[in-house]
Amino acid sequence: MKQENVQPKKWEIFSPYFKQIEVPAKSILLQEGKVSKTMYFIEKGCLRTWVNNDGKEITTQFFFEGDSVSSIESFRTNRPSLYSIESLEPCVLQTISQKDFQDIIQNSPELKDNLVEHLFMRLIKSQQIFFSYLKNTPQQRYAELLEQHPEIIKRIPQHYIASYLGITSVSLSRIRNRR
């Protein structure tokens, strides 16, 4: 979720590659099954990733200010994305296209190193979430979520948190009431 921010001055020299957009809440930025052509860097707002499981949305991750989001495997391979990306709040996003990303990778060792480090941090966080889901109870995952991102309770609707934890909203209410 929260990534170490790259020093803003380093990013400024690459601003011609980025385009700022504003999107309202509940905007689908990438639909599951479509090829990802854009990477998003969140200046303001919150995004989530989710999968469709027989018509039921299952939230897989939340992203906040300072995070980058894309279906990186789709973005890099031109294969259909395994999940959707949606805004949960009105967002201000910096975007970069596949082509510009490739140009940076090929022509700018400094930004390439920064992006590679950023993507490694994202991979590490994704692995932590995956293994937490395998090893921990919903109560433990909720406690981790609160510890790492206390703002989630204020910013994320309860049904998305429940979906992320793999439980119903009623079960989440019970967990919250025990605290």
Q: What's the pTM? A: 0.83
Establish if 59 belongs to a structural domain: yes
The answer to whether residue 137 is domain-embedded is no
Helix 158-165 crosses helix 138-148 at what angle (to 10 degrees)?
A: 120
Distance (Å) of CA 14 to CA 70, 76, 126, 139: 19, 20, 27, 43
In 15-117 the beta strands, taken as DSSP E runs, fall at 19-23, 28-30, 38-44, 47-53, 56-63, 68-69, 84-87, 91-97
Taking only the tens of pLDDT, the chain with its 179 residues reads 444 444 455 456 567 888 999 999 999 999 999 999 999 999 999 999 999 999 999 999 999 998 889 998 899 899 999 999 999 999 999 999 998 888 888 887 877 787 778 778 878 888 888 888 889 999 999 998 889 888 888 899 999 999 999 899 999 999 988 86
Asked whether residue 172 is assigned to any structural domain, the reply reads no
**pLDDT at residue 3 in the model:** 41
| Helix 169-178 vs helix 158-165: crossing angle, to nearest 10 | 90
pLDDT of residue 1: 43
The total of structural domains in the chain comes to 1
65, part of any domain: yes
What's the domain range around 73?
Answer: 8-108
Q: What is the CATH number of the domain that holds 88?
A: 2.60.120.10
The reported pLDDT for the residue numbered 174 is 92
Give the pairing type, strands 56-63 and 91-97. Answer: unpaired
With respect to residue 75, please indicate whether it lies within any of the assigned structural domains: yes
Residue 1: CA count within 13 A, CB half-sphere: 20
Residues 6+ apart with CB under 8 A from 127: none
